[in-house]
A = this chain, B = another copy of it.
Amino acid sequence: MNKKLFSIGLVMVLGAAYSLTSFSQVKPETLVKQRQAAMTLQGKYFYLQLRPMAQGKSPYDANVVARDAGYLEALTKMPWDGFTPATKDVKSAALPAVFTDTAKFKEAQDRLQSEVAKLVSVSKSGDEAAVKAQIGAVDKACGGCHETFREKQ
């Protein structure tokens, strides 16, 4: 029985190790490159397209807003698994707080995802004023996180 339990335990340990393989083999530098890629694309659709529309700096296009909101919904889920402890010494704009205040960092991620989900929903309503207000809320969520967790730029 003990032998059987041991075997089961061994299988579980090996299974866990195996299922981690594909991720743990990714170099810290690659994780940083991937998370920065997600941020670059958030910048493309948010800072270069959505925010200028909300601020009246480029013409409002409801179709582009809906498309970009959908892109952001995917993109704002992508960066976070790249902030592993193994990446903390790789040169990037991430402040040490990312790795020390992980609960607050997680809260900031959740807040962004929640504001973006609201943007997706409101972008389907055709209510331009509400969309613009929600773009402002997403902007605050981006900025709030950058304030605490990213080097000043």
| Known A37-B40, A41-B37: A19·B74 in contact at CB below 8 Å | no
Distance in angstroms from A62 CB to nearest chain B CB is: 13
Q: Let me know if A41 and B38 touch, CB within 8 A.
A: yes
Question: How many copies of this chain does the complex contain?
Answer: 2
Interfacial chain B residues near A40, Cβ < 8 Å: 33-34, 37
Cα distance A48–B23 in the bound complex, in angstroms: 8
27 CB < 8 A contacts A-B: A15-B59, A18-B58, A19-B58, A19-B59, A21-B58, A22-B48, A22-B49, A22-B57, A22-B58, A26-B48, A33-B40, A34-B40, A34-B41, A34-B44, A36-B37, A37-B37, A37-B38, A37-B40, A37-B41, A38-B41, A41-B41, A41-B78, A44-B78, A70-B74, A71-B74, A71-B78, A74-B74
Q: Could you list which residues of chain A lie within 8 angstroms of chain B, going by C-beta atoms?
A: 15, 18-19, 21-22, 26, 33-34, 36-38, 40-41, 44, 48-49, 52-53, 57-59, 61, 70-71, 74-75, 77-78
